[in-house]
Amino acid sequence: MFAEILTIGDELLTGNTIDSNSAFIAQKLTEKGYWVRRKTTVGDDVEEIKSAVREILKRGPEVLVISGGLGPTHDDVTMLAVAEALGRRFVLCEPCLERIRDFYRRLYEEGYIDDPELNEGRKKMAYLPEGAEPLENTEGAAPGAYIEHEGVKIFVLPGMPREMKAMLEREVLPRLCEREFIQKKLLAEITDESKLAPLLIEALERFNVRIHSSPKGFGKYIGIIIFGESEEEIERAKAFLEGRGIRFEEGW
């Protein structure tokens, strides 16, 4: 069982913004024990988003986290595209509209904006795919959405990092099961990666783990991540490599 991440935004495809959101989401899902199998990024375009969502659902992940494109402007089309991809109607969420109204009233009272009224852009954010559960946005106007669709848990989150992170922590992670899949990061003291290669291959054959190595230049250390379904198995793989002369330091 695996998870996928879909980030949405023209600014990610022009390189104007580095997609740190998907790394944050990936990290949290991995810590929770999920295997993130693929990340996809598309622009603020209904057809592109629909295609991407449908392709992901065909691969059958347990969890799909989508981030970006929930705001009030013309290019924020994610919720509509998700509704269309799932063949669901796009319906007004009354409690969401009330929350958005309160949100802008408060911003107005605090002097941040000069008009407290609901306009088309603000109202739009209260529309969700039919059957979706709204997710509270403690940091902004647009609610997220949680949709169970054909066995896939779909979470739609905002793209503003502050809003996305708060919603992920408060609304998404508590809805996920705890899994056993864990990882251990190590620094291996060795002069170059190609000498480590045969030892890693042997460890992979002997133990039920995955191992990733990242060169850290041609210095003294190589970054290693051992993934496994139990901490014991990871420790056995580590002990085996140490027995072959690799010296490890924890973390990097």
Of residues 49-88, those binding its own copies (CB under 8 A) = 52, 55, 71-75
Residue 89 or 220: the one with the smaller Cβ distance to its own copies is 220
In one-letter notation, the amino acid at residue 23 is A
CB of 195 to its own copies, least distance (A): 7
CB of 131 to its own copies, least distance (A): 26
Size of the site for its own copies (CB under 8 A): 71
Residue 30 or 67: the one with the smaller Cβ distance to its own copies is 30
* Residues 83, 89, 90, 96, CA torsion sign: negative
Residue 88 or 165: the one with the smaller Cβ distance to its own copies is 165
The rounded distance, in Å, linking the Cα atoms of 26 and 65 is: 9
Cβ atoms within 10 Å, residue 55: 14
Residue 43 or 131: the one with the smaller Cβ distance to its own copies is 43
- Is residue 106 within the footprint of its own copies (CB under 8 A)? no
The rounded distance, in Å, linking the Cα atoms of 93 and 143 is: 10
Give Cα separations from 18 to 28, 29, 155, 169 (angstroms): 18, 20, 21, 21
- Is residue 177 within the footprint of its own copies (CB under 8 A)? no
Select from 35-43, 80-88, 128-136, 241-249 the region that touches its own copies (CB under 8 A): 35-43
Strands (E), 71-190: 90-92, 127-129, 133-135, 144-149, 152-157, 182-189
Residue 130 or 192: the one with the smaller Cβ distance to its own copies is 192
- Is residue 30 within the footprint of its own copies (CB under 8 A)? yes
Kindly state the tokens that stand for 223.
């970054």
- Enumerate residues 127-156 that contact its own copies by CB under 8 A: none
- Enumerate residues 189-248 that contact its own copies by CB under 8 A: 191-198, 200-201, 204, 210-215, 218, 225, 227
Chosen residue from 46, 107, 173, 187 binding its own copies by CB under 8 A:
107
Chosen residue from 1, 113, 177, 239 binding its own copies by CB under 8 A:
113
CB of 40 to its own copies, least distance (A): 6
Chosen residue from 38, 89, 170, 247 binding its own copies by CB under 8 A:
38
Select from 90-98, 118-126, 172-180, 236-244 the region that touches its own copies (CB under 8 A): 118-126
* Residues 56, 58, 59, 63, CA torsion sign: positive
The rounded distance, in Å, linking the Cα atoms of 224 and 222 is: 6
* Residues 67, 70, 74, 77, CA torsion sign: positive
Task: Work out the angle at residue 33's Cα, subtended by the Cα atoms of residues 27 and 34, and round it to the nearest 5 degrees.
Answer: 75
Residue 148 or 208: the one with the smaller Cβ distance to its own copies is 208
Kindly state the tokens that stand for 121.
């852009």
Residue 108 or 131: the one with the smaller Cβ distance to its own copies is 108
Instruction: Give the largest Cα separation in the chain, rounded.
Output: 69
Tell me how far the alpha carbon of residue 76 is from its chain's centroid: 19
